[in-house]
Structure formats: structure tokens, C-alpha cells
Chains A and B, each alone.
Chain A
């Protein structure tokens, strides 16, 4: 009998201890039943010092800082196809660890609010440029998952959690 294919269910969750503000937020994405996004298991494999490095970079982005060697989007001329994709990276001697995601504006009442949804982690050779297939995957994910609805669900779960 042919196995029935169910459409994936996506969820967002806060990055532990990384606190957003009125202008920006950062979240991890999970998917079920399939592991379409792998950021949470990837994050679990990172050493404490690497996690702190990434969290520091997230803090810098959250407060409006700009350090291209640590995080960037694809806003340059000629990269229009990948506008909205985003990466946090840590470059070591031989390898670079990268966390990919996309940016969105999920608050209709506060359209300037920017959310960075992180979905994919990768450890690769230092010199290796980003594989465009990853960026294409992120853009498709952004289109498929309805990040606004997912964020509203997260906020709702938050407020329900506070009431209990």
C-alpha cells in the first residue's frame, strides 16, 4: 500500500536566552514529521563557545549593528533573487559554520518589525561560498510556511503560557 504523504507542519521557537526587541527578533524553525529544516539538531551539535559566538552575533544584529564578517543578507546588486535570505557565520581556520534563514515582517501593526527565521545549519570548508541551492531552498520554505501565521502562533502560545 502506498504510504500517504502528509504535508509538513512548521513551528517557530525562540532561541534560548536571545531576546528580541521592538524592531527585531530571532527564532528557530522546526518541521514535522519530516526534518525539512535542520537548525535545531545542528545547534545541538555546537560547542558552548560556538553557541556563545553565534548568540553574540545575533545580539549585535538585534540591536541594529552591522558586521559583515559575522552576518549578512543578500542585498547587493545582482543578488536580488536571494533578497531576504540571511546568514550568521563563524569562520574558523579550516571550516566555517553557517546558520541560514530568511527575514520577514510578520507584524502587520508594526511593519518595520523584522524577524529572522533560522532554518538550516552547515559546517563546510572555510573558503566555500554559499551554495545557491540552500538559498533557493530557503526562499521556497519562506513561501510555503507562512511565517506570519507561525509567528502569531508563537506569540499566542507565549501569552497562554504566561496566563497559566
Chain B
């Protein structure tokens, strides 16, 4: 077996891909359930189903329907968005992007609701003493139109930053 040459297991067949997608979704629900310190019985109560049904879904998530997904999410005060994205050769090898990663990206961008919000958001990464800021194009244009081409680049700010907008 050669890791570099092999395709990700999720692309073996339809059942594998469905299991991986459903499992990703349920792992987000499991994380919230753990955060709330809920048992499967608590979740079953919130869903108005039997505990057995909850266990059945968690143990074999491959058959999860969109209807069940919205119900599970709703029970823990979450929403579901179905995201389609381009399948590249890199993804064929690395596997689907986790739904938790998509959610983390959205949170990092300040939870934009529209395309315009997205344009005005910036990304802040903290790496040790350096804060790395990706400036929004609109802000760079305001500060100095000549620097407009610098938008989207990563700028380093040493020490404490006033731009702590990551949360």
C-alpha cells in the first residue's frame, strides 16, 4: 500500500462518501451534545424520538436524510447549510473537507451573511508574537488608493494588535 498514491477511502463508493458526509455532520452534533453535557437520552427527548433511534443514527449515519439532519441540528439550536464545492485531484487524495472546517472558516471571517459582508471581513491569524492580518480590499482603498493592490496580502503586525477580530 502506498499512501501517496492512494485515493481517499470516501471515494471508494457512494456508501462510503455518504457515510463520511453524514459522519462529519454528526460529529458536529456530538460536539455540541458533549458541550451541553447531554446524554443520548437528553438528545432523544429534544428530538421527541426514542433513545434507540438516536443511537441507530449515530452508529450508522450513512442513511441520514436531510429531514433528519435539520431535526438533529434544530434540537441543539444549530442550522444546516448544504455546501457544494469543486472536486479537485487534491481533494480526491485528501478527502472531503470537514464540515467543522467550513464552519470554522465562516466564524473566522466574522460570520458574514451576505457577499458584501464577506468583502468587508478580514482574516486575523495569531502566530506567537506576530499577528497576521489579511486586509479587506475596501479598507486598503480608503487608507491609500495606491496600496489597493496590497489587498488580500498578508501583513504582519508585531506585538499587541488592535485588530483582534478573529472571534
The contact string, 1 if C-beta is below 8 Å from chain B, for chain A 66-108, is: 1111100000000000000000001111000000000000000
The contact string, 1 if C-beta is below 8 Å from chain A, for chain B 4-19, is: 1111111010011001
Q: Cβ of B20 and Cβ of A56 under 8 Å apart?
A: yes
The answer to whether the Cβ of A55 comes within 8 Å of any Cβ in the partner chain is yes
Interface residue total, chain A, C-beta cutoff 8 A: 32
Chain A proximity of B84: nearest CB distance (Å): 19
Size category of the B interface is 20 to 34
Which listed residue, A13, A52, A161, touches B20 by the CB 8 Å rule? A52
Complex Cα distance, B59 from A19, in Å, reads 23
The answer to whether the Cβ of A136 comes within 8 Å of any Cβ in the partner chain is no
Which residues of B are interface residues toward A (Cβ below 8 A)? 1-10, 12, 15-16, 19-20, 23-24, 27, 30-31, 34, 52, 55, 59-62, 93-95, 98, 100-101
Give me 8 A-to-B residue pairs in the complex whose CB atoms sit less than 8 angstroms apart, sorted by A's number.
A14-B6, A19-B8, A49-B62, A56-B24, A57-B23, A63-B101, A91-B59, A162-B5
Which residues of A are interface residues toward B (Cβ below 8 A)? 13-14, 16-21, 25, 48-49, 52-53, 55-57, 59-60, 63, 65-70, 90-93, 158, 161-162
